[in-house]
Structure 1
Amino acid sequence: MSSIVLMIVDVQNELIKNHPYNEKKVIENIKKLILEARKNEHKVIYVRHDDGIGSELEKGTDGWQIYDEIAPDDNEYIIEKEYNSAFHKTELRNYLEEKGITTIILVGLQTEYCMDATLKSAFDYEYKIIIPEDTNSTFDNEYLSGEKLYEFYNYKIWNNRFASVIPMEDTVKILRNN
Structure 2
Amino acid sequence: MSNVVLMIVDVQNSLVKAQPYNKETVIENIKKLISSARTSNKEVIYVRHDDGKGSELEPGTEGWQVYEDIAPTGSEAIFEKQYNSAFFKTSLREYLVSKGIDTIILVGLQTEYCIDATCKSAFDYGYKIIMPEETNTTFDNEFLPANKLYEFYNYKIWDKRFAEVISLKDTIKLYLEG
What range describes the TM-score normalised by the shorter chain of this pair? Answer: over 0.9
Letter in 2 for 1:129: I
Structure 2 unmatched runs, 5+: none
- Write out the 4+ residue segments of structure 1 that deviate beyond 3 Å after TM superposition: none
What secondary structure is seen at the aligned counterpart in 2 of 1:90?
coil
Cα displacement (A) at 1:23: 0.2
Give the structure 1 partner of residue 177 of structure 2: 176
Identity of aligned residues (%): 69
1:99 aligns with 2:102: no
Could you give the per-residue CA deviations for residues 110-138 of structure 1, whole angstroms, max 9, x where no partner exists? Answer: 00000000000000000000000000000
Cα displacement (A) at 1:152: 0.3
Could you give the per-residue CA deviations for residues 156-178 of structure 1, whole angstroms, max 9, x where no partner exists? Answer: 0000000000001100102104x
Give the structure 1 partner of residue 80 of structure 2: 80
1:115-126 map, 5 Å: 115-126=115-126
Alpha carbons 1:2, 1:41 under 8 Å: kept: no
Letter in 2 for 1:176: E
Alpha carbons 1:43, 1:76 under 8 Å: kept: yes
Give the structure 2 partner of residue 144 of structure 1: 144
Cα displacement (A) at 1:2: 6.6
Give the structure 2 partner of residue 32 of structure 1: 32
- Describe the shift of the 1:2–1:165 C-alpha distance in structure 2 as closer, same or farther (beyond 3 A): closer
Cα displacement (A) at 1:16: 0.5
1:54-65 map, 5 Å: 54-65=54-65
Give the structure 1 partner of residue 129 of structure 2: 129
CA RMSD, aligned part only?
A: 1.0
Cα displacement (A) at 1:78: 0.2
Structure 1 unmatched runs, 5+: none
Give the structure 1 partner of residue 43 of structure 2: 43
What secondary structure is seen at the aligned counterpart in 2 of 1:147?
helix
Cα distance in structure 1, aligned partners of 2:99 and 2:7: 14
Cα distance in structure 2, aligned partners of 1:2 and 1:126: 13
Cα distance in structure 1, aligned partners of 2:3 and 2:103: 6
